[in-house]
Structures are given as structure tokens and as C-alpha cells.
Amino acid sequence: MNDFTILVANGAFASSVALTLDILSTAAVIAQRQGTAVPRWEICGVDTDCVTLGHGMQIAVQPLTTRFDDRSCWIIPGIGVADALTLEHRLKQADIALLIPALLSHVQSGGDVAASCSGVFVLQAANLLAGHCVTTSWWLAPLLRQWAPECQVDADRMVIIDPPLITAGAALGHSDLMLHLLRSRFSPALADAVARALLIDGRQLQSPFMVPAMMAQGNELIAQLTAHIEDSLPATISVSALASSFGLSERTLSRHVNKATGYSPLRLIQRVQANKARELLANSKYSIDTIAEHVGYKDATSLRRLMKKMLNATPRQLR
């Protein structure tokens, strides 16, 4: 009996598939040396024995079968798309349509499913997200909120466990997902040993990597709001002034921003400030005090508080 079933869809992120196999292979080697249980897995595709990954690479797979006694955790790496139109089209294709009833059967039989990045949208297409808290790639989170309003989407977190679902963020967040699975199904010691062997840093949040403009995902209002906030710097625009600039009431502005991003208008303003500060830290030699002034803060202490809140890092860590 396998511990993991890796479901590889056509066009899947090659890096996520490779990470899955490298982490499990490393875990197997370490477990053998330690004399502990060795992870077992199989790589499956839907109605095929070969899957073409992103950029044309191919991988041999076993055709997926469902068994009532299958207690392996099914793992879905990102499916290789990053915008709404492509994603909507991809989810209607034959291999995903065939995968959905298999996923439902596995969950109904008591099985767990783990997905990262755009792979989480496969769970959405199977109507598995209702009532659950999940994450996905931070720039896809607004879209997931629109498509699955019956679930809670927390884009700040890297991995969320809400049985029978385990979800993770952007493509390389798949490594964090795999380490969690090793930690929970085998042992923390094995997961930690794999992380050390492969030099994988522990990351609990996606928030340090978010870029506000990318969260717009085709939402013209959010794109304009983000640009207006940044253009206003170093002056800090208030929520009331931001609403007035776009001919909206504060309540209407809040509703639009929250629906599109999951944030309040104030948090969107702070996110733009933090992102601009991060950009200046990376690309200039300005002092922390000067950067604070450039993004609308009076002193370095206030900027440090903002960076810790928004990015979970200090200015020194980002320079």
C-alpha cells in the first residue's frame, strides 16, 4: 500500500513534480539509513501512461485507479496555468473532468488530498472546498474567492491543514507542503532531515512575497487603486480620500476591495507601502529612515513595524 499518490496533470509545473519526487526520494534514503518506515508512492495520470509537463518535459505514469481501501494521500501539484481565462479553459479539459469523480470517490472513502498553487482549483472544480479554509498562490487568491465564496481563502499562509484537505501556496511552496506531509505521516525528525539535506528553509507565510499590483488579476478598479496609492507616496492617502478619488463611498470601496483581495482598504494601502519599501531596500542605498519617509512613515521604527506586520521580516532582513 502506498503512502502517497502523485496525480500529474498535463502541463503541470515541472518544478513542483520534480520537488515532490526529490523530497520523497531523499526521505526514502534517509529513512533507510535510520532504520525507520520508508515512504512509498506512485505517480499517476488520468487514462494515460505518459504525461507532458510544462515546457515539454515528459514523465511516465501509471493510469489512476480508485480503490475503496486506498489510504494514500493524493497529491496534486500546480497544473501550470496562472490566469483566469486559461485556468477556466484548463479545468474543462478531459483529463481534469475524469479526475474529478476519482477525487470525490477518494475523499468520500476517507482519503486525504493535498494540492498546491493552481492545483487547488482542481479541488474547487470538484466542489471540495465548501466550508474549508484553504490557500493557493497569492496572486490567484482573489480569483479563488470569486469562484468559491463558500470557503475561506487565506493567501497569507503557506500551508493550511483542514482535513481532508491540505493546501499550499505558489509553485515552490509545494516543498513546504511535502515537508508537512512527511512530518505528519512519518515523523518531524524525517522531515527536518530532508529539509537539511536539500537546504529547504522553513516558511510559514506567503505574505513576504506578495506584490499588490499582481493581485488585481484583471480587476481594473484594484489595479487603479494600487497605482493611485503608489503615485500618492510619500503622502499617505486615507481610506476616505481614496474612496473620494474614485467617486465611491467608503463602504462601497471596502466591499470592492475585500471581494477582490480579501483585504480592507487600509490593509491594501499598507501592502502598497510595504512593497514599495521592500523595492527601495533591494534597489537603493537609502537609509532606513529615508526609505520610511519615501513610503509615508515618519521614522524607521514605524517602518519596521509595518514590515514585520506585512512581510514578517525586518528591513535589515530584506536588504
User: Rg of the Cα trace of the chain?
Assistant: 21
More confident of the two residues 225 and 314 = 225
φ, ψ for residue 312 (rounded to 5)?
Answer: 55, 40
* Candidates 1.10.490.10, 1.10.10.60, 1.10.150.120, 2.60.40.3080; CATH matching 210-318: 1.10.10.60
- In whole angstroms, give the CA distance from residue 30 to residue 35: 9
Contact 58, 49 (CB under 8 A): no
| Span 83-88, average pLDDT | 88
Bigger pLDDT: 13 or 316?
13
> Is residue 204 over pLDDT 70?
no
**Whether the Cβ atoms of residue 43 and residue 63 lie closer than 8 Å to each other:** no
Q: Is the pLDDT of residue 312 over 90?
A: no
Compute the average pLDDT of residues 188-212.
Answer: 78
Do 183 and 15 form a contact (C-beta atoms < 8 A)?
no
How many angstroms separate the first and last alpha carbons of the chain? 48
Amino acid at 75: I
For β-strands 133-134 and 152-153, DSSP reports them as parallel
Our separate counts of H helices and E strands in the chain read 14, 11
Give 111-152 as a DSSP string.
Answer: --EEEEGGGHHHHHHTT--TT-EE---TTTHHHHHHH-TTSE
Cα–Cα distance between 30 and 36 in angstroms, integer?
9
Cis peptide before 164 (omega within 30 of 0): yes
Instruction: Examine the pLDDT at 215 and tell me if it is beyond 70.
Output: no
The residues facing 157 across adjacent strands are 205
Q: Which cell is 243 given?
A: 474612496
**Is 4-207's fold the same as 210-318's?**
no
pLDDT tens for 61-82 read 999 998 888 999 999 999 998 7
C-alpha to C-alpha distances, 260 to 135, 168, 221, nearest whole angstrom: 15, 20, 9
- The arrangement of secondary structure in 4-207, i.e. its CATH architecture, is 3-Layer(aba) Sandwich (3.40)
Residues 6+ apart with CB under 8 A from 83: 217, 218
Domain boundaries, the chain: 4-207, 210-318
**104-149 pLDDT per residue, tens:** 999 999 999 999 999 999 999 999 999 999 999 988 998 999 999 9
Tell me which H or E stretch contains 185. helix 174-185
pLDDT at 205: 59
Spatial CB neighbours of 256, under 8 Å, sequence gap ≥ 6? 221, 222, 248
